[in-house]
A and B are shown apart, each in its own frame.
Chain A
Amino acid sequence: MSRVPVASRRGFLKLGLFASAAAVCLATIQKLGPAPGRYEGLLGAERPRLLSRKAFATLTLFTMDVVGAAPGAVTVQQTRTAARIDLELSIVGGKLAADIRAALALLEHGPLLDGELARYSTLPAAQRTAYLRRLQTGSNVTLRSVYNGLRFLAMFFYYSDDNTWPRLGYRGPWVPEKVFAGGNRIANLDARA
């Protein structure tokens, strides 16, 4: 009855493949050591509800990369895009939340499988773009699903913020906003803080 494709990729991870990939990664990750400063820098003042701080930081960087930084546009930090995604996952829970956590882990450690001696969050911007391009256009269905699923969330939660609309030529809804207790807008972040 309705006609808009609106979902993220829920069942997108082939967990067996992921487990194998993770096993290959772990030894290397240990050698590389943590990057706490990088993660904390990406977190800013946000306090994730469901995701780990590391996963939240990875998500934040991913939203920055896929949304981009057009001159004059509000930033993903201003729209609190990662925090809203984290809130939504905390409400939905279940398989979707588990899938997204796994996807973020694979995104973060995927460059190691490509032979990079760095994680996604420590790559320079140009290399991150190249990495995301490989996920987007590569033949690996699992990696492509990671990209598409996370990208869905990033785009939806960024562009559903009212402050992004004026630059799109969209005048917005015809009626006032009504805060929904089960919602995932910035007002909900503040209400549940």
Chain B
Amino acid sequence: MIIEATQITDHRSEDVDVVVIGSGCGGATVALDLARAGYSVLILEQGGHYSAARGDLDQRSDNMLARIDGGRGLDTSLNGELALMYGNCVGGASVHYWADSWRLPQDRADLYETLGVSGHGHARLAPIFDRLERDLNVHVAGPQYYNRMNQLFDVGAKQLGWHVEGVPQARKGCVRSGHCYQGCSFDAKQSQLVTHIPAALAAGARVYSDCRVDRILTDPRSGRATGVQARFIDRATHQPNGGSLSVRARAVVLAAGGYGSAVLWLRSQLPDGNGMVGKNLYTNPNPYLYALFDEPVRLWENIPAATGTSDFRLARYEHGRYVEGGYLLHPNQLQPEFLAVTLPGFGDEHWNLMEQLPYIGSAVSWIDDVHGGHITLASDGSPRYHYALQGDDLLKIRDAFKKQALLLFAAGAHQVIVPDSAGTRLQRPEQIAVFDTLDIQNGAVLYGAPHPAGTLRMGDDPARAVVACNHQAHEVPGLYVADPSVWPLPPSVDPSLTIMAYSVIAAEAIAEHLS
């Protein structure tokens, strides 16, 4: 049962075993497992409930950003360098993800262990990934799902001697409409909205949508989490509709995502003894290039990234100095309005590109950032995301631009277009040295930042971490975190499947506590 704000305009009280804040990959998964274990579970989702069956997912980017994106598509880091992308709907960010579904690589699981994360090793995760891949029908896409950009990507990569691989996809019955980012209108993308949420409901969990948690409540003597206070939000105005909710729970699960969980922690004025709450904000920033081809590419068709290369996933260093890599490299997908926004220039210059839109291709990288930012609250309680590209992360972006340009030229492009403020163009691959010095900071290029992590770091040492390896907060008994906030570094691949896997472990720990 999903209860929406329109059904509530008064005060309600709930008394449950577990209240879960957030319904994305973390919250939905932990709710599912605990509901199946027989606990009473209540999920609180700040955003609305939108469904394909009701025609809500109408593929218009303006409508859909207003419906499902946390900042309505307009939220950025404080310096304007990053476009912050996060979910605000039942199903969370999985409603607008690309459905790429990677397992956490073993090297990264091992690295997490060296950074203090125990109980989440590769062997522990493997059977969980097996289950999740079955739940979400994860598979490599067949050739019919390769749009022209995917085909060109393979051509270019092979020309350069780079290994390509099918990107695991969480899809079932995909009709190739090409509007994954706007939320699947056909329930084919296996987001939490159509997988773990309905499964959790079937197991007895309940969901309140449009329900904004104002604070996590604690017992003043023991410091133990006891529940939450929340208000219901009118979707049209984003203002409280007069309804409110008090929840008393034996366990509180914070799963509001990498941008949201630390904010709620800070707003709730929960303990922060080591000063780590809100620190280590990683965002997986994504640089991308455009290119003009002699044939139609139509970036907006079919699925976004059926293929890609992991050849550069791990950064390579020599004598302690960065050489190359530290990112995934994939074909890119954008709808025309996003192309219009990110193609450089204005007036006639911009229109000249727009009228060639079907011939524009693109490649994108996901930077495995190591220099974290941090989150603070303004005086009105609104979050400020402090993040500036720096150090090796900047070098990784420059290297990613070079590799993208090489690939696009090798795929047959006759011109590469940099989405920088100046509108830099390359006519041949020999010009890639321009990326060594190009102004790409301080808003000269707008990077997407879709995969936040790190701000409630996990580790068994309370002096260095916020959350213990059983997902329980060191300083707030009864409060658990089940989202990417706990990771000490980004996972180096799309995070969705790993978020779910960690949440399965979180659910086990919570069940153990409750029993």
Q: A and B bound?
A: yes
Interface residues of A (CB under 8 A from B): 1-12, 65-68, 70, 73, 84, 88, 91-92, 94-96, 129, 132, 136-137, 141, 144-145, 147-149, 151-152, 155-160, 164-165, 167-170, 173-178, 180-185
List, in ascending order, chain B residues with CB within 8 A of A177's CB.
Answer: 58, 60, 63
Interface residues of B (CB under 8 A from A): 25, 54-63, 65-67, 69, 71-80, 82-85, 93-94, 96-98, 100, 175, 177, 179, 181-182, 185, 235-238, 286, 288, 296, 298, 300, 304, 332-338, 340-342, 345-348, 350-351, 354-355, 357-358, 364, 366, 378, 380, 382, 384, 421-423, 442-444, 446-448, 450-451, 494-496
A88 to chain B, nearest CB (A): 7
Take A159-B336, A175-B185 as given contacts and tell me if A8 and B76 are in contact as well, using a CB distance cutoff of 8 Å: yes
Which of B98, B336, B421 is A165 in contact with, Cβ under 8 Å?
A: B336
List, in ascending order, chain A residues with CB within 8 A of B384's CB.
Answer: 11
Residue of B nearest to A154 (CB): B346
**CB < 8 Å A-B pair total:** 232
Which of A2, A6, A96 is B98 in contact with, Cβ under 8 Å?
A: A2
Once the chains bind, are B75 and A7 in contact (CB under 8 Å)? yes
Once the chains bind, are B443 and A1 in contact (CB under 8 Å)? no
What CA separation (Å) do A151 and B447 show in the bound complex? 16
What CA separation (Å) do A5 and B93 show in the bound complex? 14
Among A65, A95, A183, max chain B CB count under 10 A is at A183
Once the chains bind, are B96 and A12 in contact (CB under 8 Å)? no
Which of B85, B380, B422 is A136 in contact with, Cβ under 8 Å?
A: B422
B94 to chain A, nearest CB (A): 6
Once the chains bind, are A2 and B93 in contact (CB under 8 Å)? yes
Residue of A nearest to B444 (CB): A144
Residue of A nearest to B66 (CB): A183
Take A1-B494, A176-B58, A178-B56 as given contacts and tell me if A169 and B298 are in contact as well, using a CB distance cutoff of 8 Å: yes
List, in ascending order, chain B residues with CB within 8 A of A11's CB.
Answer: 76-80, 384
List, in ascending order, chain A residues with CB within 8 A of B69's CB.
Answer: 6
Once the chains bind, are A5 and B358 in contact (CB under 8 Å)? no
Once the chains bind, are B443 and A9 in contact (CB under 8 Å)? yes
What CA separation (Å) do A155 and B294 show in the bound complex? 25
Take A11-B384, A156-B337, A184-B62 as given contacts and tell me if A1 and B237 are in contact as well, using a CB distance cutoff of 8 Å: no
Once the chains bind, are A182 and B236 in contact (CB under 8 Å)? yes
What CA separation (Å) do A67 and B347 show in the bound complex? 5
Which of A2, A94, A147, A181 is B181 in contact with, Cβ under 8 Å?
A: A2
Take A6-B85, A159-B340 as given contacts and tell me if A168 and B354 are in contact as well, using a CB distance cutoff of 8 Å: yes
B345 to chain A, nearest CB (A): 8
Once the chains bind, are A66 and B347 in contact (CB under 8 Å)? yes
Residue of A nearest to B72 (CB): A92
